Structure 1
Amino acid sequence: MSGYFDAIAPLAYDPDGDGPGFRHYNPDEIVLGKRMEDHLRFAVAYWHSFVWEGGDPFGGRTFDRPWFPADTMELARARADAAFDLFRILGVPYFCFHDHDVRPEGASLTESRDRLNRIADLFAEKMAAGGPKLLWGTANLFSNRRYMSGAATNPDPDVFAYSAATVRACMDVTHRLNGENYVLWGGREGYETLLNTDIGQELDQMGRFLSLVVDYKHKIGFKGTILIEPKPQEPTKHQYDYDVGNVYGFLRRYGLENEVRLNIEQGHAILAGHTFEHELALAAALGIFGSIDMNRNDYQSGWDTDQFPNNVPETALAYYEVLKAGGFTTGGTNFDAKLRRQSLDPEDLVMAHAGAMDVCARGLKAAARMLEDDRLETARRDRYAAWQGAEAQAMLAPGATLDAIADAAEARGLDPQPVSGRQERLENLVNRYV
Structure 2
Amino acid sequence: MSADYFAPFATVKYEGPDSTNDLAYRWYDKDRLVMGKRMEDHLRFAVCMWHSFCWPGSDVFGAGTFSRPWHAGPNDRVRAAQKREAALAFVEKLDLPFYCFHDVDVMADAETIGEFRQSFAEAVDHLEELQGKHGRRLLWGTANLFGHPRYMAGAATNPDPEVFAWAASQVRDALEATHRLGGANYVLWGGREGYDSILNTEIGVEQRNFGRFLNLVVDHKHRIGFTGTILIEPKPHEPTKHQYDFDTQTVYAFLKRFGLENEVKVNIEANHATLSGHTFEHEIAMARALGILGSIDANRGDPQNGWDTDQFPNSVEELTLAMLEVLRAGGLGNGGFNFDAKVRRQSIDAADLFHGHIGGVDTIARALLRAAAIIEDGQLERFRVDRYAGWQGELGRMIHADGTSLAQVADHAVAANHEPEARSGRQEWCENLINRF
2:95 pairs with 1:94: no
Pick the aligned partner of 1:31 from 29, 34, 37. Answer: 34
Pick the aligned partner of 1:345 from 337, 344, 349. Answer: 349
- In structure 1, C-alpha distance between the alignment counterparts of 2:395 and 2:305, rounded to whole Å: 50
1:273-306 CA-partner distances (Å, limit 9, x unpaired):
1011111111111111100001000111110000
1:12·1:21 contact (CA, 8 Å) conserved in 2?
yes
Pick the aligned partner of 1:300 from 271, 284, 304. Answer: 304
Query: Which residue does the alignment assign to 1:118?
Result: 122
Q: CA deviation at 1:130?
A: 3.3
- In structure 2, C-alpha distance between the alignment counterparts of 1:242 and 1:182, rounded to whole Å: 19
- In structure 1, C-alpha distance between the alignment counterparts of 2:313 and 2:104, rounded to whole Å: 25
2:17 pairs with 1:13: no
* Amino acid aligned to 2:9: I
Query: Which residue does the alignment assign to 2:329?
Result: 325
Larger displacement relative to structure 2 (166-175 or 244-253) = 166-175
Query: Which residue does the alignment assign to 1:47?
Result: 50
The equivalences for 1:337-416 within 5 A come to 337-416=341-420
Query: Which residue does the alignment assign to 2:216?
Result: 212
How many equivalent residue pairs? 433
Gap change, CA 1:70 and 1:347, over 3 Å in 2:
farther
Query: Which residue does the alignment assign to 1:201?
Result: 205
1:141·1:163 contact (CA, 8 Å) conserved in 2?
yes
* Amino acid aligned to 2:63: G
- In structure 1, C-alpha distance between the alignment counterparts of 2:298 and 2:372, rounded to whole Å: 18
- In structure 2, C-alpha distance between the alignment counterparts of 1:407 and 1:225, rounded to whole Å: 46
1:70·1:76 contact (CA, 8 Å) conserved in 2?
no
Q: CA deviation at 1:260?
A: 0.4
- In structure 1, C-alpha distance between the alignment counterparts of 2:39 and 2:331, rounded to whole Å: 12
Q: CA deviation at 1:70?
A: 5.0
Query: Which residue does the alignment assign to 1:162?
Result: 166
1:241·1:247 contact (CA, 8 Å) conserved in 2?
yes
Query: Which residue does the alignment assign to 1:258?
Result: 262
- In structure 1, C-alpha distance between the alignment counterparts of 2:392 and 2:128, rounded to whole Å: 54
* Amino acid aligned to 2:67: D
Give secondary structure in 1 for the equivalent of 2:104. Answer: helix
Unaligned runs of 5+ in 1: none
Give secondary structure in 2 for the equivalent of 1:2. Answer: helix
Unaligned runs of 5+ in 2: none
Query: Which residue does the alignment assign to 1:146?
Result: 150
Query: Which residue does the alignment assign to 1:243?
Result: 247
* Amino acid aligned to 2:53: F
* Amino acid aligned to 1:28: D
Larger displacement relative to structure 2 (58-67 or 252-261) = 58-67
1:87·1:131 contact (CA, 8 Å) conserved in 2?
no
Query: Which residue does the alignment assign to 2:65?
Result: 62
Give secondary structure in 2 for the equivalent of 1:89. Answer: helix
When the two structures are superposed, what TM-score results if normalisation uses the length of structure 1? 0.98
When the two structures are superposed, what TM-score results if normalisation uses the length of structure 2? 0.97
- In structure 1, C-alpha distance between the alignment counterparts of 2:412 and 2:234, rounded to whole Å: 43
- In structure 1, C-alpha distance between the alignment counterparts of 2:414 and 2:328, rounded to whole Å: 39
- In structure 2, C-alpha distance between the alignment counterparts of 1:93 and 1:218, rounded to whole Å: 26
Identity of aligned residues (%): 55
- In structure 2, C-alpha distance between the alignment counterparts of 1:155 and 1:322, rounded to whole Å: 38
* Amino acid aligned to 1:44: V
Q: CA deviation at 1:84?
A: 1.5
2:228 pairs with 1:227: no
- In structure 2, C-alpha distance between the alignment counterparts of 1:282 and 1:414, rounded to whole Å: 34
- In structure 1, C-alpha distance between the alignment counterparts of 2:74 and 2:228, rounded to whole Å: 30
Write out the 4+ residue segments of structure 1 that deviate beyond 2 Å after TM superposition.
55-60
* Amino acid aligned to 2:373: R
1:70·1:79 contact (CA, 8 Å) conserved in 2?
no
* Amino acid aligned to 2:394: A
Larger displacement relative to structure 2 (408-417 or 232-241) = 408-417
